[in-house]
Amino acid sequence: MLSLVAHGRKMDLNLPRVMGVVNCTDDSFYEGSRSLEKTKLEEKIYEMHSQGADIIDIGGRSSRPGSRHLDDQEELDRVAHSIEFVKAKFPEQWCSIDTTSAVVAEFALSKGVEIVNDISAGSMDARLWSIVAQWKVPYVCMHMQGTPDTMQIDPRYFDVVEEIASFFKTKISLLHAAGIEQVILDPGFGFGKTIAHNYQLMQGLSSFQQLNCPILVGVSRKSMIYKLLEISPEQALNGTTVLHTYALVQGARLLRVHDVGEAKEVVRLIQAITA
């Protein structure tokens, strides 16, 4: 699948795409990405759009370990303004909704959002897949061992790459059976993985290409970078750029990032090398 289709519009994936993160939260791990203030969220959206974000990913619930659980209405209240703002100001801008909730996804899709990004791979809301199938939009299926509350409590794998590949094969079959044809695979860096698991996963990333689905990589400013380098998330942009470069060489088609301009530069440079 070298393109995505939603609401009658197409996005070509022969060119890798950059997904900018807008966190309508007060507790996401990276301070520079989060806010509950409408003005600051609007400024972030303007900035990402002006820097050429191919997709703006809007989410209302932090998935870091120990984050507070929100009910559907509170999550919806957090994301509604940003969704409506971006679609009013930049109607051609592709957006994704980062949610595990069918209620939130249905609202977002009704407002023109093109992609559903689900960290739970359908395990947290049984109705979500039917909503995605109904709207015939792309769906990001992410691997996570456990839940956000438990995922970093002693995660273990015999072979992290092989086990996640098996997980994806099963999910792809189930998603297709549920009527979802456009599946994007996110290996879930940092979600139920140790630092060692994350780098084993990065090393084996190219093997997921055999599943014939676009690969999304979300490593921006994560602990696999800042803990290894003994720095803070605020200092982890350079490390992020290094991993983005490696991920694109290994076949990633989408990068989920906090820093759109820098990620777009990586894409341009890799395209110049491989053209």
SS (H, E, C) 255-266: EEECCHHHHHHH
Q: How many whole angstroms separate alpha carbon 250 and alpha carbon 61?
A: 30
Task: Calculate Rg over the CA atoms of the chain.
Answer: 17
Q: Is 222 a catalytic site residue? A: yes
- If one counts every other C-beta atom within 10 angstroms of the C-beta of residue 102, the result is 21
Residue 220 CA to residue 72 CA, distance in Å, equals 27
Instruction: Check if 87 is active-site.
Output: no
Could you say which DSSP state residue 34 is in?
Answer: B
Residue-level pLDDT at 30: 46
Taking Cα atoms as reference points, which of 137, 143, 154 lies closest to residue 120? 143
Residue type, 119: I
**Closest by CA position to 158, among listed 167, 149, 170:** 167
Residues in the chain: 275
Taking the chain (275 residues) in consecutive chunks of 10 residues, what is each chunk's mean pLDDT? 92 97 72 69 95 97 69 93 96 97 98 97 96 98 75 75 97 98 97 95 98 98 96 96 98 98 98 90
Residue 27's pLDDT is 56
Choosing from 44, 61, 78, 222, the catalytic residue is: 222
Answer yes or no: are the C-beta atoms of 58 and 94 closer than 8 Å. Answer: no
Domains of the chain with CATH codes: 17-63+70-274 (3.20.20.20)
Residue from 17, 78, 171, 256 carrying the catalytic annotation: 256
Q: What's the pLDDT at 32?
A: 53
50-54 contacts: CB < 8 A, separation 24 or more?
51/20, 51/260, 51/261, 51/264, 52/18, 52/260, 52/261, 52/264, 53/18, 53/19, 53/20, 53/93, 53/260, 54/11, 54/17, 54/18, 54/19, 54/94
pLDDT at 29: 47
Res 234: pLDDT = 94
